[in-house]
Amino acid sequence: MVNPFKNILDKKTNVLILGYGKEGGSSFATLRALYPNLNVGIADGNISLKDDITLKNDVNIQLHLGDKYLLALKDYDLIIKSPGVKLPNLDNSILSKITSQTDLFLAAFYGQTIGVTGTKGKSTTSSLINHILNKCGKKSILIGNIGVPAFEMINNISSDTIVVYELSAHQLEYVHKSPHIAVLLNIFPEHLDYFDDEVDYENAKHNIYKFQNPNDKLIIGSQIMNNITNINAELFCIDISNIDSELVYPLLGNHNKLNSEIAISAVANMGVNRTDAVLALKSFEGLPHRLEVIGKYGGITFINDSISTIPESTIAAMEAMNGDVDILILGGYDRGLDYAKLCNYLENSEVRVLILLGDAGHRMKRVMSDKVLSKLSFAKDMAQVFEIISKHGVYDDVCLLSPAAASYDQFKNFEHRGDDFTELAVKYKFE
């Protein structure tokens, strides 16, 4: 196995992997492949890891499990932090030792990496970029927040490989290097159950370009231009109003036209001309849970937009459908987001049946007008959502799941929620 981290890891005598989920597991596997005898610690709140066969059979490993796992931080030369592990305030002696899989990867491969982040649209835009590159004869791989830990793909990277890296705020939080081409789509309040406030969240997102130099490229959506400071790279600001209206895109909505135009700009910086890029776009298929048309069942067209976990994304979904939504499903886990704008939008919408879920649904209700409240039903779960649809839905209705809230109250993630909705939709029969 090629060792792209030699300059960093050769100097370390013991390394701690902080958080042993999917990314933490890939970090451990990579460390072991590169350094079979390195002393490695695993720190995680999950005490059941003591029974993990891989870990039990490793004589050079030390486990730090349970409520006090963070006490291990002081005992290691290097700490590879996994996304989502919330850290308290730390003194500089420990903070200086913290890195991450993303940080190590960018240190080694930043020059051939297109990094993509944003509160919404990053998976679609990353996939668009990768699709165009592959269709146009470039060697490209897609990694990161889309579900493929970066370390798992190291052996697939050669000097001519373009790495498209979807980056979450959690992955960007502790980086010290930015990708050669950085894409920042948008920033809305999100993940405030993890970050202390909106400023901390925004700062994590800004790390995608913070460490760039004048030879690098930064591509942004024009709506966030005023939020960008201290730019070192060449800037490309993409404005939706300047997009060629004659171009035909495969995805619904102006927000996806903007994502497509940003993808074209990104690949242009890798040598793909516009004509070829636009042609490649025509064969792109949308991702699941993102305005995904499930089909028409029992006379009702069901659309799965479970990815919409903030109000701005739900409004964009409604606008992408030109307001042609009869039944709208909102709500879920409440993270304290501001729903006033969404509720005002619903005031003038054509939605006839509004179904709310969870604590977020109850908080939405408190800022809704009487006009909107008159359309309202509450459901305890997705099964009851479909009971309400059977009572109030009519033939040729369009039903949209676009919750404007997280899923963690009843589901593992937004994919689980979307799958549940889809499974019930395909079984729906018109009464």
Residue 243 pLDDT: 67
Q: What is the largest CA-CA distance in the chain?
A: 69
The verdict on residue 120 lying in a domain is yes
- CATH number of the domain to which 338 belongs: 3.90.190.20
Count of Cβ atoms closer than 10 Å to residue 373 Cβ: 11
Question: What does the pLDDT read at residue 407?
Answer: 96
Query: Rounded distance, CA 118 to CA 182, Å?
Result: 11
Q: Rounded to the nearest 5°, which phi and psi values hold at 351?
A: -60, 130
pLDDT digits (tens, 9 = 90+) for 374-423: 999 999 999 999 999 999 999 999 999 999 999 999 999 999 999 999 99
Task: Go through 232-266 and write b for each residue having 16 or more CB atoms within 10 A of its CB, e for each that does not.
Answer: ebeebebeeeebeeeeebebbbebbbbbbbbbbbb
Last residue of a domain, one of 218, 252, 281: 281
264 in the same domain as 357: no
Q: Which helix (H) or strand (E) holds 36?
A: none
Among 79, 96, 113, the domain-final residue is 96
Q: Let me know if 46 is exposed, middle or buried by CB neighbors in 10 A (0-12, 13-18, 19+).
A: middle
**DSSP letter at 63?**
E
Find out whether 115 and 182 touch, Cβ atoms under 8 Å: yes
* Rounded distance between C-alpha atoms, residue 401 and residue 118, angstroms: 22
Query: How many whole angstroms from its chain centre is CA 359?
Result: 23
Same domain, 265 and 145: yes
Range of the domain at 162: 103-281
Contact 27, 79 (CB under 8 A): no
Residue 40 within a domain: yes
Residue 241: which residues within 8 A CB-CB, separation 6 or more? Answer: none
Residue 167: pLDDT band (50, 70, 90) is: very high
Residue 169 has pLDDT above 60, yes or no: yes
Query: Does 405 fall in a domain?
Result: yes
Confidence of residue 246 (pLDDT cuts 50, 70, 90): low
Lowest mean pLDDT among 131-135, 196-200, 216-220, 229-233: 196-200
Same domain, 193 and 325: no
Instruction: Based on the fold, state whether residues 253 and 300 are members of the same structural domain.
Output: no
Is 165 part of a structural domain of the chain?
Answer: yes
User: The CATH number of the domain where 67 resides is what?
Assistant: 3.40.50.720
**Statement to judge: residues 390 and 346 lie in one domain:** yes
266 in the same domain as 305: no
The 3-state DSSP class for residue 148 equals: strand
pLDDT at 429 over 90: no
At 176, which helix (H) or strand (E)? none
Residue 37 predicted with pLDDT over 60: yes
Asked whether residue 155 falls in the same domain as residue 272, the answer is: yes
Chosen domain end from 96, 121, 144 = 96
DSSP H helical ranges for 244-306: 254-268, 274-281
126: domain CATH number is 3.40.1190.10
Residue 241 has pLDDT above 90, yes or no: no
Residue 372 CA to its chain's centroid (Å): 31
Q: What is the spatial distance between Cα 118 and Cα 167, in angstroms, rounded to a whole number?
A: 8
Query: For residue 431, what pLDDT band results from cuts at 50, 70 and 90?
Result: low
Same domain as 56, residue 79: yes
Residue 247 has a pLDDT of 56
- The pLDDT-based confidence of 217 (bands split at 50, 70, 90) is very high
C-alpha closest to that of 30 among 149, 111, 145, 110:
149
Q: Are residues 147 and 47 in the same domain?
A: no
250 and 316 share one domain: no
Question: Do 41 and 127 share a structural domain?
Answer: no
Distance CA 52, CA 201 (A): 34
Domain count, the chain: 3
Which strands, in side-by-side order, build the sheet including 376-379?
292-297, 300-304, 398-401, 327-331, 353-357, 376-379
Together in a domain, 234 and 120? yes
Question: Is 286 a member of any domain?
Answer: no
Quote the CA–CA distance of 66 and 63 in Å, as a whole number: 10
CB count in 10 Å sphere of residue 96? 10
> Is 303 contained in some domain?
yes
pLDDT per residue as tens digits for the range 53-90? 999 999 999 999 999 999 999 999 999 999 989 999 89
Is residue 431 one of the residues assigned to a domain?
Answer: no
The answer to whether residue 88 is domain-embedded is yes
